[in-house]
């Protein structure tokens, strides 16, 4: 009873004391100097601090605390840990920061606008320019061979229209790079060259290289690649189209016309690869233009150029089409050409080789935080998730990595002048049959053979998939005019005999029939894990020199070399 009487007496004494004024910090008045929005947050923070103080006093059984003492405790708690924020949140500080943020956003939008204009130059203007030049040349040929006055007048009107369009597109390109004289000079030289009636391909490639070099050193992330078509002037597709449009029959003029198309790409990434202190540049590019032209290759090197091009768009399309989810969760790969029966049972082997890689990727991805997050998101949204798209995306990246080594080998062979082995011509003659063999074609087959050895040697986990891709090329009779077709017909038997220990100074007979290809493919599929070392050993024995050691380097400085003479 004594304790209760003491508490009661203390309470009566406190009630007789003069009351303090109301807590002004619970009103909006003290916060008017702050920015709108900040005021409410500060007031709420004060109320939270006060609530915390009252709870602390209650839990401590302190019932004799005066209002002034409570306010002092609240002020202490309210200001504790505030640090620099009260000063930062004042209008004098917040307003300049807000203006800087607006300026940064405006600058970002302006840069984005300029980037979109630059992208349009390469996506639209440059391809449209080469297309308009194409139509203009066809129109000029049609005008030379047309005797009907009415049709000739229509053709001349079309020539005037195309001439104006060509000039307009040329000026658009020049105007965009007006502050970069070097880029203007090199692009103008290239655009003017394709207007000529005929220019040797090697000269065109040199102009393209100079333009790409100038774009590269000026940090313009785009790349130009040419395609050349040579035919009787009157038989070019657009010439025939114009003839049908204006009437009359298409007749051969006897003249040869060379038409050039400029394909444009965005450079997603560039890398340097080193071999014997030489650095080789590779561009990883994505197709921009909408021209109906496709080389159906994964990478390329122009003769005389010192850089390689990896075609990411083609790699994406190839990987996506070769990895298909079936209802039972298996993976399907297409090895045989459309309409060709799989009489040798190769499809099941190809599927196993590809499934092994995709399953490996899926297992790795299943342990990643990205997949775990996607699983949580799928449960929240009620959607379905699959590992296959992620595995396919990784497959695309890895195929691009392996392709880069193939293309860099072309650069090494080109600059080091790869020597033709004494057995090569005999082997190529057997493979080619009645196909004419020019020195240029022979060199191309040799370079592809060398690059395929490198491709497998640096393929790592992709060796089985690469074996599938190579087999698909040489099984397709529609590719008989391609150097890749013949080089793989040499490659498979060489690797086969190398692993059997029967490869001597004279290489084996090439795979001349589908049966030969199937036999070597099945054998190599059984030894796919060691095919990288087999490739290195076979290369060294056949050429004879060690397979070049290629390493990815971390080079930031952009450097170029003059074109080969």
Report the mean per-residue pLDDT for the chain: 79
- Does residue 523 share a domain with residue 442? yes
Among 120, 135, 262, CA closest to 191:
262
Provide the percentage of residues in the chain whose pLDDT is more than 90.
25
Residue 166 lies in a domain: yes
pLDDT number for residue 47: 78
For residues 246 and 334, membership in a common domain is answered with no
Q: In this structure, are 443 and 536 located in the same domain?
A: yes
Domain that holds residue 408: 324-553
Contact between 431 and 512 under an 8 Å Cβ cutoff? The reply is yes
Phi, psi of 45 (to 5 degrees): -65, -40
| pLDDT per residue as tens digits for the range 115-142 | 778 888 898 888 888 888 887 877 777 7
User: Is 409 found in the same domain as 330?
Assistant: yes
Chain-centre distance for alpha carbon 171: 29
d(C-alpha 402, C-alpha 310), whole Å: 10
How far apart CA 454 and CA 197 sit, in angstroms, is: 40
Asked whether residue 8 is domain-assigned, the answer is no
Q: Which of 244, 264, 284 is the last residue of a domain?
A: 264
Q: How many domains does the chain have?
A: 2
Together in a domain, 249 and 347: no
Residues 356 and 448 in one domain: yes
Do 242 and 337 sit in the same domain of this protein? Answer: no
- Say whether both 346 and 229 belong to one domain: no
pLDDT in tens, 145-196: 666 777 778 878 888 888 888 899 999 889 888 888 999 999 999 999 888 8
Considering the domain architecture, whether residues 349 and 464 belong to the same structural domain is answered as yes
Please give the distance of CA 98 from its chain centroid, rounded to a whole number: 37
Predicted confidence at residue 340, as pLDDT, reads: 78
Does 527 share its domain with 430?
Answer: yes
For residue 192, being part of any structural domain is answered with yes
Q: How many residues are there in the chain?
A: 565
Is residue 237 included in any domain, yes or no?
yes
Domain boundary among 264, 293, 312: 264
306 within some domain: no
- Report the C-alpha gap between 536 and 442 in whole angstroms: 22
Name the DSSP letter for residue 234: G
Domain for residue 110, yes or no?
no
What is d(CA 428, CA 174) in angstroms, rounded to the nearest whole number?
Answer: 47
According to DSSP, the residues that pair with 287 across neighbouring strands are 265
Q: Which two tokens stand for residue 296?
A: 């159906």
Asked whether residue 368 falls in the same domain as residue 237, the answer is no
pLDDT for 506-540, tens place per residue?
677 888 888 999 999 999 999 999 999 999 999 99
Do the domain assignments include residue 228? yes
Q: Which of these three, 264, 282, 311, is where a domain ends?
A: 264
Identify whether residues 257 and 345 lie together within a single domain: no
- Residue 391, classed as helix, strand or coil, is helix
If DSSP codes are grouped into helix, strand and coil, which group holds residue 497? helix
pTM score over 0.85: no
The vertex-13 CA angle with 9 and 16, nearest 5°, equals: 140
Q: What pLDDT, in 10s, does the model give residues 387-422?
A: 777 888 888 899 999 999 999 999 998 888 888 888
**Mean pLDDT lowest among 264-268, 272-276, 430-434:** 430-434
Residues with Cβ < 8 Å from 524, sequence gap 6 or more? 467, 492, 495, 496, 499, 531
In the chain, the N- to C-terminal Cα span, in Å, equals 112
Give a yes or no: residue 77 inside a domain: no
């Amino acid at each position: 009873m004594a304790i209760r009487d003491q508490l009661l007496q203390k309470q009566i004494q406190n009630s007789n004391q003069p009351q303090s004024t109301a807590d002004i910090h619970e009103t909006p008045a003290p916060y008017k100097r702050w920015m709108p929005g900040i005021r409410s947050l500060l007031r709420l923070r004060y109320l939270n601090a006060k609530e915390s103080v009252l709870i602390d006093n209650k839990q401590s059984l302190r019932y004799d605390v005066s209002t002034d003492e409570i306010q002092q405790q609240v002020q202490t708690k309210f200001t504790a840990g505030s640090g620099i924020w009260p000063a930062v949140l004042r209008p004098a500080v917040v307003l300049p920061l807000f203006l800087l943020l607006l300026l940064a956003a405006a600058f970002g939008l302006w840069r984005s606008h300029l980037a979109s204009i630059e992208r349009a130059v390469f996506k639209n203007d440059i391809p449209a320019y080469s297309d308009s030049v194409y139509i203009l040349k066809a129109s000029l040929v049609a005008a030379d061979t047309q005797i009907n006055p009415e049709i000739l007048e229509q053709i001349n009107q079309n020539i005037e229209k195309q001439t104006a369009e060509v000039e307009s597109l040329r000026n658009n390109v020049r105007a965009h790079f007006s502050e970069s004289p070097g880029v203007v000079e090199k692009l103008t030289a290239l655009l003017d060259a394709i207007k000529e009636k005929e220019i040797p391909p090697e000269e065109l490639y040199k102009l393209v290289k100079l333009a790409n070099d100038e774009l590269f050193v000026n940090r313009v992330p785009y790349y130009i690649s040419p395609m050349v078509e040579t035919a009787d002037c009157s038989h070019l597709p657009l010439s025939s189209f114009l003839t049908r449009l204006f009437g009359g029959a298409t007749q051969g003029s006897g003249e040869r016309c060379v038409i050039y198309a400029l394909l444009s790409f965005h450079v997603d990434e560039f890398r340097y690869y080193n071999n014997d202190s030489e650095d080789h540049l590779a561009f990883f590019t994505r197709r921009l233009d909408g021209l109906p032209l496709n080389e159906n290759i994964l990478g390329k090197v122009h003769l005389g150029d010192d850089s390689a091009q990896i075609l990411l768009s083609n790699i994406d399309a190839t990987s996506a089409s070769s990895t298909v989810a079936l209802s039972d969760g298996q993976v399907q790969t297409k090895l045989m050409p459309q309409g060709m029966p799989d009489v040798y049972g190769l499809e099941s082997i190809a599927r196993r080789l590809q499934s092994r890689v995709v399953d490996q990727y899926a297992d790795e991805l299943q342990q990643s935080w990205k997949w775990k997050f996607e699983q949580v998101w799928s449960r929240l949204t009620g959607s379905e998730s699959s590992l296959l798209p992620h595995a396919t995306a990784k497959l695309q990246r890895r195929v691009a990595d392996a392709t880069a080594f193939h293309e860099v080998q072309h650069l090494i062979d080109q600059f080091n002048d790869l020597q033709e082995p004494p057995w090569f011509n005999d082997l190529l003659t057997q493979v080619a049959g009645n196909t004419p063999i020019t020195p240029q074609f022979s060199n191309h087959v040799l370079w592809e053979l060398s690059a395929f050895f490198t491709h497998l040697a640096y393929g790592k986990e992709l060796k089985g998939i690469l074996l599938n891709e190579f087999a698909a090329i040489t099984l397709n009779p529609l590719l008989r005019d391609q150097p890749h077709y013949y080089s793989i017909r040499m490659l498979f038997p060489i690797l086969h005999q190398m692993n059997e220990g029967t490869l001597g100074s004279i290489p084996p007979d090439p795979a001349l029939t589908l049966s030969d290809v199937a036999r070597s493919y099945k054998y190599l599929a059984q030894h796919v894990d060691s095919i990288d070392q087999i490739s290195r050993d076979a290369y060294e024995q056949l050429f004879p020199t060690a397979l070049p050691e290629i390493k990815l380097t971390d080079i930031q400085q952009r450097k170029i070399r003059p074109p080969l003479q």
